[in-house]
């Protein structure tokens, strides 16, 4: 079976240019045994492997390219609580799970904060994230969110901003209000992913890079094959998200790749930083098709948005994203653009992560629909729980039904792109 992007290095992103460590784990050769074999060394795979290692399982982690090569290492770097599709999970399972889901939505934040401290991971972790309102209906959503925080006695600081406060703190008149969570925030995603992999390796996880998985032989003890080797394990975890093409009978046309793109400016002068983002917050608007941005540790504007669902890449990322940024911040008109990059993220039609098992011992988890930094860590823990025999939270998501679009993946992407036109029109109204 062939896969996309075999043996590739990282894209030319700001993150790759400022990475703390260039990984060079060996290619898998020969036979390896482990309790668990994890396929894919993005956030899902690395987080799962580290959780399992902390629980004394032996783990082999196999990556087709480099640790953090996919969306995990080149995303917007926004650490935002929640899992997409939670309202549908709550609707299916009833109000009795509401408190559990509320705690679960914050679990990824807890895992990341704890691991950064425990393992000394330098990833520019910064607290503070603001959701911004553009339309009146957005303000109602923010007010409802504040009520949820109060109802659940949220222990961390949060603020509801009016138009004037939002304008003063973000240096733009584009928004009519905002909601700030200081348990959410932003970070350098590639450094986090590589740091967690280093921690996992220190606990005995065997990590292999440039090792494309070509197939899985099922059985009581599955065998995961690559071109030059194999891993025999009691259980397998598939964590490839938008890129892997394994187990097509079960997983094809379940998760679709969508293009996500970001530009990065030159380092901004202090005067400009203090005008546009003096609190150093991550920002995301409340449109259906969002724009998001933040400052890097060295004060560059990293601006992304308007995800491409058709599968076609823009001829120029800069030409696609820059007008969006200048619409919000005309102050940046003369600022140089030093970086432009992008790639695929995994989209699921109902926006609920696809979590489940094949033949009882091959687990899969994918499709975070643009909310992966937090959700990957949550799902990694749920998969580790399930492997250890605790199924309660895993089954909340594994029991959800997913619609698979018949036909080719290309056809599925065109249907999704057509559907997103509705939401773009909704944003304009």
210: domain CATH number is 3.50.50.60
Residue 118 included in any domain: yes
pLDDT at residue 310 is higher than 70: no
Question: How many structural domains is the chain composed of?
Answer: 1
Residue 240, pLDDT score: 80
Among 203-212, 300-309, 325-334, 398-407, which is the least confidently predicted range? 398-407
Residue 294 included in any domain: no
Distance in angstroms (rounded) separating the CA atoms of residues 168 and 150: 25
In this prediction, residues 117-125 reach a mean pLDDT of 98
pLDDT at residue 287 is higher than 60: yes
Tokens standing for 399?
């029991």
pLDDT at residue 286 is higher than 60: yes
What confidence tier does 5 reach under pLDDT thresholds 50, 70, 90? very low
Residue 195 included in any domain: yes
Residue 147 included in any domain: no
End-to-end CA distance of the chain: 46
Cα 132 to Cα 177, 369, 396, distances in angstroms = 6, 20, 30
Distance in angstroms (rounded) separating the CA atoms of residues 219 and 358: 11
Residue 91 included in any domain: yes
> Considering only CA atoms, which of 211, 214, 159, 186 is closest in space to residue 81?
186
In this prediction, residues 417-428 reach a mean pLDDT of 48
User: Is-contact 346 379, C-beta < 8 A?
Assistant: no
| Pairwise pLDDT comparison (315 vs 322), residue with the higher score | 322
What confidence tier does 30 reach under pLDDT thresholds 50, 70, 90? very high
Residue 155 included in any domain: no
Question: How, if at all, do strands 229-238 and 362-366 pair?
Answer: parallel
Tokens standing for 51?
């959780």
Ranges 97-101, 126-130, 372-376, most confident: 126-130
Tokens standing for 300?
């560059």
Distance in angstroms (rounded) separating the CA atoms of residues 94 and 335: 51
Q: What mean pLDDT value characterizes the chain?
A: 89
| Pairwise pLDDT comparison (417 vs 382), residue with the higher score | 382
Among 4-8, 58-62, 295-299, which is the least confidently predicted range? 4-8
User: Is-contact 199 21, C-beta < 8 A?
Assistant: no
DSSP letters along 144-199, please?
A: HHHHHHHHTT--S-EEEE-HHHHHHHHT-SS-SEEEEEEEEEE--HHHHHHHHHHH
User: Is-contact 241 343, C-beta < 8 A?
Assistant: no
271 Cβ partners below 8 Å, 6+ apart?
Answer: none
What confidence tier does 354 reach under pLDDT thresholds 50, 70, 90? confident
Residue 288, pLDDT score: 77
Residue 12 included in any domain: yes
| Domain assignment of residue 364, given as a range | 1-125+187-250+350-398
Q: What is the pLDDT of residues 173-204, one digit of tens each?
A: 999 999 999 999 999 999 999 999 999 999 99
DSSP letters along 315-374, please?
A: S-HHHHHHHHHHHH-GGGTTPPEEEEEEEEEEE-TTSS-EEEEETTTEEEEE--TT-HHH
Based on its alpha-carbon atoms, the radius of gyration of the chain, rounded to whole angstroms, reads 21
Residue 417 included in any domain: no
């Amino acid at each position: 079976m062939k896969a996309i992007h075999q043996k590739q290095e990282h894209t030319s992103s700001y993150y790759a240019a400022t990475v703390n460590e260039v990984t060079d784990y060996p290619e898998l050769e020969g036979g390896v045994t482990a309790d668990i074999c994890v396929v894919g060394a993005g956030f899902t795979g690395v987080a799962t492997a580290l959780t399992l290692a902390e629980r004394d399982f032996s783990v082999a982690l196999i990556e087709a390219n480099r640790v953090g090569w996919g969306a995990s290492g080149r995303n917007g770097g926004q650490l935002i609580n929640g899992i997409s599709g939670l309202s549908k999970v709550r609707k299916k399972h009833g109000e009795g799970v509401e408190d559990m889901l509320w705690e679960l939505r914050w679990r990824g934040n807890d895992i990341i904060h704890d691991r950064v401290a425990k393992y000394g991971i330098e990833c520019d972790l910064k607290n503070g994230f603001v959701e911004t309102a553009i339309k009146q209906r957005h303000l109602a959503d923010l007010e409802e969110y504040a009520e949820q925080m109060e109802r659940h006695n949220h222990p961390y600081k949060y603020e509801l901003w009016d138009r004037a406060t939002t304008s003063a703190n973000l240096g733009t008149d584009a928004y009519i209000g905002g909601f700030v969570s200081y348990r959410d925030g932003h970070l350098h995603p590639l450094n986090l992913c590589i740091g967690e992999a280093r921690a996992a390796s220190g606990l005995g996880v065997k990590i292999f890079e440039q090792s494309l998985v070509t197939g899985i032989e099922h059985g009581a003890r599955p065998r995961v094959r690559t071109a030059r080797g194999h891993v025999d394990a009691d259980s397998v975890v598939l964590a490839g998200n938008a890129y892997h093409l394994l187990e097509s009978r079960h997983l094809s046309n379940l998760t679709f790749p969508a293009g996500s793109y970001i530009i990065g400016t030159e380092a901004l002068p202090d005067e400009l930083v203090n005008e546009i983002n003096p609190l150093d917050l991550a920002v995301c608007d409340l449109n259906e098709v969002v724009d998001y941005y933040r400052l890097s540790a060295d004060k560059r504007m990293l601006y992304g948005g308007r995800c491409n669902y058709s599968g076609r890449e823009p001829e120029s990322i800069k030409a696609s994203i820059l007008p969006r940024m200048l619409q919000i911040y005309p102050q940046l008109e003369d600022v140089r653009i030093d970086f432009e990059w992008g790639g695929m993220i995994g989209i699921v039609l109902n926006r609920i992560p696809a979590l489940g098992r094949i033949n009882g011992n091959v687990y899969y988890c994918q499709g975070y629909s643009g909310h992966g930094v937090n959700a990957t860590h949550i799902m990694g823990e749920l998969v580790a729980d399930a492997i250890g025999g605790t199924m309660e939270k895993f089954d909340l998501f594994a029991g959800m039904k997913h619609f698979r679009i018949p036909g080719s993946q290309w056809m599925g992407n065109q249907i999704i792109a057509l559907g997103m036109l509705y939401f773009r029109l909704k944003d304009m109204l």
